[in-house]
Structure 1
Amino acid sequence: MKASEQWVTFMIILLVIYAAIILFFVVRGALKAKNISDFAIGNIGFPSWVVGLSLAASMTSAATFIINPGFIALYGISGVISFGVVLPIAAFVSLIILTKGFAKYGHSVKATTMAQWVGQRYNSKGYAFFMAIMALLLITFIVLINVGLTQVISKSLNADPFYVLLGISVFVFGYMMFGGANSMVYTNTIQAIIMFFVALILIGSGYEFFEDGITGFFAKLNAVDENLTQTVNSNSFLFRDYFEIIVAQIIIGVAVVCQPHIITKSLLLKDAKKINKYLFSGIAFMVVFFLVVVVGLYARLLFPDLKVDGTALKMDEIIPTYVVTKFSVGLGMFIVVGLISAGLSTLESLIQSLSVTITQDILQPIFKDRIEKNSILANKGVIVVLGIVSFMLSWNQIVNPNVSVAIFAQNGVYAYFAAAFVPVLFGMFLKNVPLKAVFTASVVALIVHFGIYYGRLTPYMQEPVNNPGIPAAIAILSSVIVGFMIYYFNKRKDDYRHA
């Protein structure tokens, strides 16, 4: 189904206005950024609730609003339990516990990136370099957001996805060369507020399906496919049993916080005492954002056979098509702006954190003074290269998706935070942790994750497309066990030596 000419015309006008507002705040923030530290963590004393909204906008992305509801359209209630209940609860608990420790230590050592935090915590430049290299895996997340945004905008403008993706890449990576943390907090706050109202509209958009109550709603889903109403969907490759739906998602939810664009957000607070307000405002908004996955159920009732005009919908097209089909021009355009905001907010955070990590923690140790003297210029060059690489990878995912770009992204992102989890966890809660314990744990996490996924180990990995959450969960557990054993035996050896 194509958008009407009226829709396309108004959408173009709205996108131009939206872009102008973003550029206004980019310029405003850029004028106050004097060095790479200002670009990384800002130099403006933002209110704690504003930084909290920036956290909410960064932590919930195009995956939450566009991609994950597509999985729910395919697989039903089992996906809602996994993505809409279990994962958020685990992530919120982890966020509360880990953020406080990270912010306290981060401020004391003046860390601006995740790799720096780890390197200074364990007094190892080599480990900091290793974690910075691992951060390159987060390019897969940039690809996911690029694809989600491209699907939404191309459907709204009846435009060729190639040129839409090109436009997104030039615009977003272009303005992020100048904005940094100062402007990102401004734009994220506006985006979070828009996303909040859009989330409420989307969650309420299926009201007519509840005319016979919740029982009637489930009956409608059951009539389409009995598996849609089951708490376990054996026909899926993501929600086959309770280990996959609950246990693995709890582990992923706890570890997902260990991404640079999420955990380092607390460093934007100039007063660590304001962390509770920051967490409260962020989590309150995220509760609503994560519930957007139920829209996938509405989309499945609207498109029972997942086809429009006889053409089968790709999974990543389902929600953009639902919006264009379901809503009037005015409301639909506002929702599209919300979906774009969901993508841009996380994309900005990823570009900002990843470019600073590459500049400070990869290039600077190699080229030393040459980078240090021209760090802002070097960072701009890094962003250009990131833009080109992510554009090429994104176009490949649009043309040749493996069910969904989410699988590609999850494989990279999950591997990263599996490797990062133990150094962050031990760094906050244990004393005198030897470097060999956390480094070994990180290496074990990577080997186990990629070994299980690409070696197709365990019964879960026997499908044509597999769930990256399973190898990631096993990798995280393995790394915690290995890391703690090395820490424990090292401690016993020290105790015996001093006895």
Structure 2
Amino acid sequence: MKDSENWTLYVSLILVLYALVILFFVVRGALKAKSISDYAVGNIGFPSWIVGLSLAASMTSAATFVINPGFIALYGVSGFISFGIVMPIAAFISLVVFTKGFAKYGGQVKATTMAQWIGNRYNSNSYKFFFGIIALLLITFIVLINVGLTQVISKSLQADPFYVLLGITVFVFGYMMFGGANSMVYTNTIQAIIMFIVAIIMIASGKDFFENGISGFLDQLNAIDSKLTQTTNESSFLFRDYFEIIFAQIVIGIAIVCQPHIITKSLMLKNPSKVNMYLFSSIFFMTVYFLVVVTGLYARLTFPDLTANGKPLTMDEIIPTYVVTKFSVAAGILVVVGLISAGLSTLESLIQSLSITITTDIIGTLAPKAKEKSFFINKVVIVLLAIVSFILSWQQIQNPTLSVAIFAQNGVYAYFAAAFVPVLFGTFFKQVPTIAVFTASVVALVSHFGIYYLRITPYMQETVNNPGVSAAIAILISLFTGMIFYIFGNKTSKT
């Protein structure tokens, strides 16, 4: 993109307009939210396809549009296979399988959070409290999105990242104190449509590289580094062999839907029989979103030595710099808005689901009388989340370990590794002993963090390690543990 004094002005004006539109829908939704339940799952009967758009926007975040393409810019085709093909297919299949049972049971027990669903399903307040506590790991995902948004906006406005991050934190956490689920469906729908348009633009932005077909495209990558065109990349930290690229990503893709801002979205369906349209609309849009990671290959061809204006690019800066460099003013502004939409859509869902979990499942358990003031307490919780996430986000911007994605994956993967067995068993099995799933969740956490931090297995011997490997192994160990306890527990109860 050509340097222009007007660029910053145009972007600033669009961001102000975008913020005003969001605030309009926040106010509209907030006026209808009268209780903590309304804030959590809404009280407006949205069409199922609209809720599906909200899910699509929530499930594909700044990681999909900004961070993951950076990995692919560094490591090439092996990363595209992993993030653009294997993981999405596994996630879509898992989403279909899990959602129907979860939505049906969620409606029966009137659950508003993942922790409540688990606690009610297994009739255990201690298990509910346990999941409320480990939900705090999702703060790492908030940090990832904060960093991604900060990189995009600071590059676009040529502004100090510190003040951009501060502005994002104050604005988003501020309006989420009032909006909740009603507002979020409105804003997510707009964001999903913008993201779809921008995804098409970004996927098409590399058309010039295909003048000689796919083979010509690969030849250009190969000229930079032959490892970029290989299906595995031994020099990477994430795509060294097919275990990391395929097996681990299948396991992660299956389990990834067991996050509260994803699977609990189905609880917003007032009529569970409409789940098919909900799933169809979400998967259709997400298929396009996940293909955006191919932009990482375009960025590598644009910056073959990973520098811009003589300055080395960090991994998290690659895509924001590509956008500012590649597109015309009009297209660039639209893409920037799309990248911001990708971040905000998931950030809103995370703030909403995590604050509700802390308010109802942690504070509500420790101080039952506080439930009478839960609507107010939830606002205080959001303020505290804002402060913590700001501090951690700024730390990651200043001192990332390769990428903020590694920090986020370590926390998020640990959470859904612990959630996988209780959601699986609770959805498809009957008469599940609580000890079976509770033990499986603990084993998942111990296994994941143990393998990662104690450097167990050959995959954990580098300066930067792959949380996907430790989480995949932990999920399998947890599943085996849960099955043993389930079989043994049922046999004991029958004798």
Q: What's the counterpart of residue 410 of structure 2? A: 411
Counterpart residue number, 1:380: 379
The answer for the alignment partner of 2:97 in structure 1 is: 97
* Distance in 2 between residues matched to 1:251 and 1:271, nearest whole Å: 30
Q: Secondary structure at the match of 1:293?
A: helix
Q: What does the per-residue CA deviation read over 1:403-437, in whole Å, with 9 as the maximum and x for residues that have no partner?
A: 00000000000000000000000001111111110
Q: Does 1:21 align with 2:21?
A: yes
Distance in 2 separating the partners of 1:241 and 1:3: 42
How far does the alpha carbon of each residue in 1:192-212 deviate from its partner, in whole angstroms, 9 at most, with x for none? 000000000000000000001
How far, CA to CA, are the matches of 1:3 and 1:128 in structure 2?
54
Q: Distance in 1 between matches of 2:79 and 2:246?
A: 10
Q: Does 1:117 align with 2:78?
A: no
Distance of 1:427 and 1:372 partners within structure 2: 27
Per the TM alignment, residue 367 of structure 1 is displaced from its structure 2 partner at its CA by 1.5
Q: Is the 8 A contact 2:58 2:346 kept in 1?
A: yes
Partner of 1:78: 78
Letter in 1 for 2:57: A
Contact 2:2 2:328 in 1 (8 A): no
Cα distance, 1:30 vs structure 2:
0.1
Q: Which amino acid aligns with 2:444?
A: A
Match status 1:425 vs 2:424: yes
Separation in 1, partners of 2:151, 2:4: 17
Instruction: State the aligned residue count.
Output: 495
% identical equivalent positions: 73
Deviation at 1:365, TM superposition (A): 1.2
Cα distance, 1:493 vs structure 2: 2.3
Cα pair 1:3 1:156 within 8 Å, conserved: no
In structure 2, C-alpha distance between the alignment counterparts of 1:109 and 1:203, rounded to whole Å: 42
Give the distance between the partners of 1:3 and 1:423, measured in 2 at CA. 53
Letter in 2 for 1:91: A
| CA-CA distance at 1:78 after TM superposition | 0.3
**Paired position in structure 2 for 1:322:** 322
1:441 correspondence with 2:436: no
Q: Work out the CA distance in 2 between the residues paired with 1:3 and 1:133.
A: 48
Partner of 2:34, secondary structure, is coil
Post-superposition CA distance 1:424-482 (Å, at most 9, x none): 00001111111110010000000000000000110000000000000000000000000
Cα deviation 1:13-48 (Å, max 9, x = unaligned) = 000000000000000000000000000000000000
**Partners in 1 of 2:438 and 2:372 — Cα distance?**
31
Mind listing any 5+ residue stretches in structure 1 that lack a counterpart? none
Offset, 1:4: 3.1
* Residues in 2 aligned to 1:163 and 1:477: alpha-carbon distance in whole angstroms: 43
The residue that corresponds to 2:131 in the other structure is 131
SS in structure 1 opposite 2:63? helix
Equivalent AA in structure 1 for residue 487 of structure 2: Y
Q: Is the 2:132–2:361 contact (alpha carbons within 8 Å) kept by the matching residues of 1?
A: yes
Partner residue in 1 for 2:466: 467
Alignment correspondent of 2:485: 486
Counterpart AA for 1:450:
F
What is the DSSP-based 3-state SS (H/G/I as helix, E as strand, rest coil) of the residue aligned with 2:254?
A: helix
Query: 3-state DSSP class of the match of 1:231?
Result: coil
* 1:395 alignment partner AA: W
Shift of 1:489: 1.2
Query: Is the Cα–Cα contact under 8 Å of residues 195 and 339 in structure 1 kept in the other structure?
Result: yes
Deviation at 1:494, TM superposition (A): 2.8
Match of 1:60 in 2: 60
AA in 2 matched with 1:77:
V
d(CA) in 2 for partners of 1:255, 1:207: 34
The answer on whether the counterparts of 1:3 and 1:155 sit within 8 Å (CA) in structure 2 is no
TM alignment of 1:393-412, pairs within 5 A: 393-412=392-411
Instruction: State the AA in 2 paired with 1:419.
Output: A
Name the residue aligned to 1:45.
45
Amino acid at match of 2:352: Q
Cα offset, 1:373, TM superposition: 1.3
Shift of 1:3: 5.5
CA distance in 1, matches of 2:6, 2:470: 47
Partner Cα separation in structure 1 for residue 231 and residue 201 of structure 2 = 26
| Inter-partner Cα distance in structure 2 for 1:414 and 1:4 | 42
User: Is residue 202 from structure 1 mapped to residue 205 from structure 2 by the alignment?
Assistant: no
**Alignment-mate amino acid for residue 223 of structure 2:** A
2:420, 2:215 → 1: CA distance?
41
Decide whether aligned partners of structure 1 residues 453 and 3 sit closer, same or farther in structure 2, where only a CA change above 3 A counts: farther
SS at match of 1:374: helix
Q: Distance in 2 between matches of 1:430 and 1:276?
A: 22
Structure 1 residue 366 displacement after superposition: 1.1
Any conservation in 2 of the 1:184–1:349 contact (CA below 8 Å)?
Answer: yes
Measured against aligned partners, the alpha-carbon deviations of 1:36-67 in whole angstroms (never above 9, x if no partner) come to 00000000000000000000000000000000
* 1:422–1:480 Cα contact (<8 Å) kept: yes
Query: Pairwise mapping of residues 47-446 of structure 1 onto structure 2 (< 5 A)?
Result: 47-369=47-369, 371-446=370-445
The one-letter amino acid of 1:473's match is A
Separation of aligned partners in 1, 2:267 and 2:101? 11
Indicate if the aligned counterparts of 1:60 and 1:289 stay in contact, CA closer than 8 A. yes
TM-score, L = length of structure 2 = 0.99
Q: Is the 8 A contact 1:81 1:245 kept in 2?
A: yes
Cα deviation, 1:120-159, whole Å, max 9, x if unaligned, reads 0000000000001010000000000000000000000000
Contact 2:433 2:490 in 1 (8 A): no
* Aligned-partner Cα distance in 1 for 2:434–2:39: 30
Distance 1:460 1:3, change over 3 A: farther
In the alignment, the residues of structure 2 paired with residue 296 and residue 246 of structure 1 have an alpha-carbon distance, to the nearest angstrom, of 19
Checking the alignment, whether the CA contact within 8 Å between 1:115 and 1:128 is kept in structure 2 is: yes
Corresponding letter in the other structure for 2:135: A
Q: State the one-letter code of the partner of 2:431.
A: N
TM-score normalised by the chain length of structure 1: 0.99
CA distance in 2: counterparts of 1:188 and 1:376, whole angstroms:
22
Cα distance in 2, alignment partners of residues 334 and 355 from structure 1: 31
Provide structure 2 residue ranges, at least 5 long, that are not aligned to the other structure.
none
Separation in structure 2 between the aligned mates of residue 125 and residue 3 of structure 1, nearest angstrom: 58
RMSD between aligned alpha carbons?
Answer: 0.8
Supply the distance in 2 between the matched residues of 1:472 and 1:144 (Cα, whole angstroms): 18
In the TM superposition, what is the alpha-carbon distance from 1:5 to its structure 2 partner?
Answer: 1.9
Deviation of the 1:311 alpha carbon = 0.7
- Distance in 1, matches of 2:206 and 2:478, equals 43
CA contact (8 A) 1:2 1:155 kept: no
Shift of 1:2: 9.5
